[in-house]
Amino acid sequence: MAKVLSSLFNPLYAPLWVFFGLFLFSYLKMLPWGYKLFIVCMVYFFTVFVPTIGITLFRIFKKWTHLELSHREHRHMPYIVALLSYATCLTVMTKMNTAMFFRGVVMAALISQIICITVNAWWKVSTHMVGMGGLVGALNAFSILFFYNPVWPFCGLLMLSGALGTSRIILRQHSLAQVLVGFGIGYACAMTFILISWM
C-alpha cells in the first residue's frame, strides 16, 4: 500500500492536480473546454512528461536502479532536469500572457524545486511531501482568493498527506523530519507565490 501511494502521488503531478482542481471545482470551470484542455496539456508536457523522460534516460545512461536514483547524492541531475522543464513552462506561460495565478502555481513548484536542490546538498528532503504540501497550500491560497470554505477538501488532503508521509517513512526513504520539512516547503511556496501572483 505504501508503494502504491508513493507511485500514485508522484511529486511531478502536483501542479497538474492543482489545475485539475481549478478547472473542475472553481468558477474557472466556465472557461472554454478547448482552452482548459490546452493549459492542462501544456502543464502536463512541461511538468510531467519532459522531466519523466529526461530522468528515465539519465537513469538508463547511468545504469542506476530506481533505488539508487533515490540516494541523496544521485538526485542533483533529476532536480536540474525538472527545474529546467518547469522554468520553460513558466516562460511559455508568461509569453502567452496567461492569468497571473496560473503562473503562480508553476512559480511555486519552481521555487520548491530550487529550495529542494539547495537543501539536497547536505540533506535529503521528501519531494513527495513537497508536492502534497503544495496541494494543501494551493487549496488554502485559492480559498482565500475565491472566498470559499474548503474545510472538507482540506481535511481530505491533510489525511492523504499523513498517509503519504507515513508511506515514505515505512519504505525507509525518509525520516519524520524530512517528511515534515518537505510538506512545509511545498505549503509555504504555494501559499506565498499564488497569493503574490494575485496582487
**pLDDT tens digits for 39-74?**
999 999 999 999 989 888 877 877 766 656 566 565
Instruction: Label residues 31-46 b or e (16+ Cβ within 10 Å = b).
Output: eeeeebeebeebbbeb
Tell me: the pLDDT tens digits for 113-170? 899 888 887 888 999 999 999 999 999 999 998 888 889 999 999 999 999 999 999 9
* Rg of the chain over all Cα atoms, to the nearest angstrom: 16
pLDDT (0 to 100) of residue 75: 67
Percentage of the residues of the chain whose pLDDT score is greater than 70 = 93
For residues 23 and 38, give the distance between their C-alpha atoms in angstroms, rounded to a whole number. 12
pTM higher than the cut 0.85: yes
Does the pLDDT of residue 18 top 90, yes or no? yes
Q: How many CB atoms lie within 10 A of CB 4?
A: 9
Which ranges in 120-150 belong to alpha helices (H)?
127-146
What average pLDDT does the chain have?
89
